[in-house]
């Protein structure tokens, strides 16, 4: 099957999945008055793959059938492959100005990385490498959209899984049957869950679990519509308002949900690791699979930083502040963030590492630094937009106000700016508000702080694993103690 169209993607959502939203079970995600809007946004992304203007840059011939499949599934074998795949990431990232954190290309790239690292899975048993490769090929050939749930519920982080007051809360192996592994418990959090076809339940790239807990150690993947699996969504930040009023939340509300498993049977061919805590802890440290995901979201982060600079520049121009050195230096900080992200991408590609099987992987040092950079810089970019926009971010009447004839004159006159008439200024500032002040904007900041893992642990891990021997020797020599 070639890369899917939007209509094919939407049809796939009608599979009886158990999604709960605001106290009701959702009949059909694609037709839900609130959730359906994001489903249509994702359908638009899929349509780009079959759009003659983009098909060549978003697809490549399937190694199995020759039909065009999503380029994010490519197993990269050269620097040119990495560059080409990044251009595809960028097309999808630009579709939302980087606001969609979890476009399907993110997990497609990680899954391709897992398949290229099938040797790792062989350490758990001879049946495992074939399973991960077959699963990768299945997703590629059916162009499936996946989410992941890597983290246990935040019950008591001071305790291990086995020490929890209720050790049945973290997702665990509850039994085995001829059909597969039986799992119960919960995982948080799965962004995009209502819109995904598949749920990948893998070990967290940023957590280390104690070795006494083999029943919590596994990697598997199941369809979102598996019996016994249910998702409880948080409240939506899409309030059903117009694109004018909520320019981002009305289109790009990708939703987060807790995944609850009630004796869910995972077919054996979908179990990729089982019962080996050390292997699970090492999966994303010893394989380059997650680096492919960072490659995707660094391209997304670049698009997002560019959106912020674009909006902040227009806001600064609108209020006549672009000549002030203080404003210029704030905007200059944004430029530096953009160019740093661009440099990370470039370096990761040019300095790619190769493996004995001929695969090329984005440079892990550069990608790890890129991953730790954005959680710190994104809140600052948002803060700069708040500093530049200031009270203008609250002078944001709604579309209904603009439609009231008796307010038209007021809005034209009192909302005018140096560069824009009232209506256009309101439209721009509503976008700035949805980027920097709305509840949707708050979730974006939280997402960037945490979605790629716990930032404290990640930074500490950088220090612990970084090869400092040579530089420490140089300092010792400088001190005359070499
Ligand atoms: C919007 C959003 C979407 C997400 N989507 C997904 C998803 O789709 N799939 C998925 O698997 N996960 C997802 N996550 C979860 C993400 O992986 C976790 O948030 C992340 O791993 C951190 O874990 P935690 O939130 O449980 O924080 P905790 O581990 O409970 O940590 C809480 C706080 O303590 C700090 N901390 C931890 N250890 C220390 C220490 N030793 N010293 C000092 N401070 C410390 C942490 O940095 C953090 O600030 C999402 C998170 C968010 C916010």
Distance, CA of 462 to CA of 148 (rounded, Å): 24
Nearest CA to ligand 1 atom 51: 451
Nearest CA to ligand 1 atom 27: 454
Percent of the chain surpassing pLDDT 70: 100
Q: What is the mean pLDDT of the chain?
A: 96
According to DSSP, the β-strands at 146-148 and 198-201 are parallel
**What does the pLDDT read at residue 337?**
98
Nearest CA to ligand 1 atom 12: 189
User: Which H or E element spans position 474?
Assistant: helix 469-478
Ligand 1 pocket check: which of 99, 107, 151 to mutate, most ligand atoms within 8 Å of Cβ?
151
CA 409 / ligand 1 centre spacing (Å): 49
Q: Name beta bridge partners: 70.
A: 59
- Mean pLDDT across 385-402: 97
Per-residue model confidence as pLDDT tens digits over 171-200? 999 999 999 999 999 999 999 999 999 999
CA 140 / ligand 1 centre spacing (Å): 29
Residue with the two structure tokens 């008591």: 156
Nearest CA to ligand 1 atom 45: 456
**What does the pLDDT read at residue 482?**
60
Per-residue model confidence as pLDDT tens digits over 18-50? 999 999 999 999 999 999 999 999 999 999 999
Ligand 1 atom with the smallest distance to the CA of 452 is 17
Nearest CA to ligand 1 atom 22: 454
CA 121 / ligand 1 centre spacing (Å): 26
Ligand 1 atom with the smallest distance to the CA of 447 is 1
Q: Are 289 and 212 in contact (CB under 8 A)?
A: no
Q: Which residues line ligand 1 (CB under 6 A)?
A: 147-151, 154, 157, 189-191, 206, 256, 443, 446-447, 450-451, 453-457
Q: Which of 90-104, 105-119, 381-395, 458-472 has the lowest mean pLDDT?
A: 458-472
Helix (H, G, I), strand (E, B) or coil at 175: strand
Q: Are 167 and 220 in contact (CB under 8 A)?
A: no
pLDDT at 208 exceeding the cut of 90:
no
pLDDT tier at 211, thresholds 50, 70, 90: confident
Helix (H, G, I), strand (E, B) or coil at 261: strand
CA 143 / ligand 1 centre spacing (Å): 29
Q: In the structure encoding, which two tokens stand for residue 300, read together?
A: 């997304």
- Mean pLDDT across 456-463: 92
Q: How many CA atoms lie within 13 A of 267 on its CB side?
A: 9
Give the CA diameter of the chain: 81
CA 449 / ligand 1 centre spacing (Å): 8
Range 67-71 contact pairs with CB under 8 angstroms and sequence separation of 24 or more? 67/1, 67/2, 68/2, 68/3, 69/2, 69/3, 69/140, 69/141, 69/143, 70/3, 70/104, 70/105, 70/108, 70/140, 70/143
What is the separation, in whole angstroms, between the first and last Cα of the chain?
63
Q: Choose among 445, 396, 449, 400: nearest CA to 425.
A: 396
Nearest CA to ligand 1 atom 31: 454
What b/e string do you get for 137-146 counting C-beta neighbours within 10 Å, with b at 16 or more? Answer: bebbbebbbb
Cis preceding-peptide flag for 439 (omega within 30 of 0): no
pLDDT tier at 316, thresholds 50, 70, 90: very high
Nearest CA to ligand 1 atom 49: 454
CA 29 / ligand 1 centre spacing (Å): 27
Ligand 1 atom with the smallest distance to the CA of 147 is 8
Ligand 1 pocket check: which of 154, 234, 454 to mutate, most ligand atoms within 8 Å of Cβ?
454
Rounded to the nearest angstrom, the gap between the alpha carbon of residue 340 and the centroid of all alpha carbons in its chain is: 20
- Mean pLDDT across 413-424: 95
**What does the pLDDT read at residue 423?**
95
Q: In the structure encoding, which two tokens stand for residue 473, read together?
A: 């020797």
- Mean pLDDT across 280-301: 97
Q: Quick one: DSSP state of residue 214?
A: G
pLDDT at 406 exceeding the cut of 70:
yes
Nearest CA to ligand 1 atom 35: 456
Nearest CA to ligand 1 atom 16: 451
């Amino acid at each position: 099957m070639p890369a899917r169209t939007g209509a094919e993607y939407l049809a796939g959502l009608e599979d009886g999945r158990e999604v709960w939203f605001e106290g009701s079970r959702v009949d059909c995600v694609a037709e839900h008055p609130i959730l359906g809007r994001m489903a249509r946004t994702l359908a638009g992304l899929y349509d780009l793959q079959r759009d003659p203007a983009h098909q060549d840059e978003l697809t490549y011939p399937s190694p199995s059938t020759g039909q065009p499949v999503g380029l994010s599934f490519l197993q990269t074998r050269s620097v040119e492959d990495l560059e080409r795949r990044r251009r595809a990431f960028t097309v999808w990232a630009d579709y939302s100005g980087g606001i969609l954190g979890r476009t399907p290309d993110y997990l497609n790239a990680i899954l391709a990385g897992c398949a290229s690292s099938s040797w790792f899975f062989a350490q758990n048993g001879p049946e495992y490498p074939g399973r991960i490769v077959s699963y990768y090929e299945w997703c590629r050939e059916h162009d499936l959209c996946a989410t992941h749930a890597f983290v246990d519920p935040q019950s008591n982080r001071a305790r291990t899984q086995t020490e929890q007051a209720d050790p049945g809360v973290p997702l665990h192996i509850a039994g085995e049957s001829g059909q597969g592994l039986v799992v119960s418990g919960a995982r948080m959090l799965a962004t995009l869950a209502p819109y995904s076809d598949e749920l990948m339940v893998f070990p967290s790239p940023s957590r280390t679990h104690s070795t006494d807990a083999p029943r919590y150690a596994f990697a598997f993947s199941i369809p979102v519509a598996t019996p016994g699996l249910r998702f409880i969504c948080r409240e939506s930040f899409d309030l059903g308002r117009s694109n004018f009023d909520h320019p981002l939340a009305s289109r790009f509300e990708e939703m987060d949900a807790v995944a609850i498993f009630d004796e869910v049977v995972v077919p054996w061919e979908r179990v990729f690791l089982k019962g080996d805590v050390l292997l699970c802890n090492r999966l994303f440290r010893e394989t380059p699979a997650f680096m492919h995901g960072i490659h995707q979201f660094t391209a997304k982060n670049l698009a997002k930083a560019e959106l912020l600079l674009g909006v902040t520049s227009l806001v600064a121009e609108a209020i006549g502040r672009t000549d002030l050195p203080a404003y210029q230096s704030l905007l200059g900080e944004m430029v530096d963030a953009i160019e740093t992200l661009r440099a990370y991408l470039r370096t990761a590609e040019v300095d790619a590492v190769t493996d004995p099987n001929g695969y090329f992987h984005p440079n892990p040092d550069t990608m790890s630094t890129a991953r730790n950079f954005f959680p710190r810089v994104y809140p600052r970019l948002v803060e700069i937009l708040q500093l530049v926009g200031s009270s203008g971010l609250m002078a944001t009447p709604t579309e209904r106000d603009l439609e009231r004839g008796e307010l038209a004159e007021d809005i034209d006159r009192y909302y005018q700016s140096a560069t824009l008439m009232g209506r256009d200024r309101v439209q721009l500032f509503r976008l700035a508000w949805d980027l920097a002040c709305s509840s949707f904007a708050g979730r974006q900041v939280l997402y960037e702080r945490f979605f790629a893992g716990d930032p404290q642990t990640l930074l500490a891990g950088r220090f612990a694993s970084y090869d400092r021997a040579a530089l420490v020797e140089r300092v010792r020599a400088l001190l005359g103690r070499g």
